[in-house]
Amino acid sequence: DTGVSQDPRHKITKRGQNVTFRCDPISEHNRLYWYRQTLGQGPEFLTYFQNEAQLEKSRLLSDRFSAERPKGSFSTLEIQRTEQGDSAMYLCASTPQGRSPLHFGNGTRLTVT
């Protein structure tokens, strides 16, 4: 169990640029989640996958955000045309099937200038 891995740890980008983050879940965890956390707040649900199927997306997730999990293993989260309001910590978590808690990665901190 090597834990959930996220890359990069930090990303600074200029407004209007596209960014992509990667998450490698714990192997054999078939559920993968993306959350966003802003300063002083708890994690806010964005989307989740069961294997390669994206089962739910938050209504808060604009069309500029897209996530994929093409082979049911790692996942990517892309933000197009970034805005300053996108600055946040993006957290990935995974869990095996069934009644299990989330296991989080250390997150990717995005700063949009």
Stretch that binds another protein, among 13-21, 59-67, 68-76, 104-112 (CB under 8 A): 104-112
* Residue among 33, 37, 10 nearest 21 (CA): 10
| Cβ atoms 104, 37 nearer than 8 A | no
The single residue among 56, 60, 64, 113 that binds another protein, judged by CB under 8 A, is: 56
Least Å distance, CB 38 to another protein, is: 10
| Cβ atoms 67, 54 nearer than 8 A | yes
Rg of the chain on CA atoms, in Å:
13
Q: How far is CA 29 from CA 78, 79, 85, 86, in A?
A: 22, 25, 31, 28
Closer to another protein by Cβ: residue 23 or 79: 23
Closer to another protein by Cβ: residue 19 or 91: 91
Per rule CB under 8 A, is residue 51 in the interface with another protein?
A: no
Contact positions vs another protein (CB under 8 A): 4, 33, 35, 40-45, 48, 55-56, 91, 93, 95, 98-107
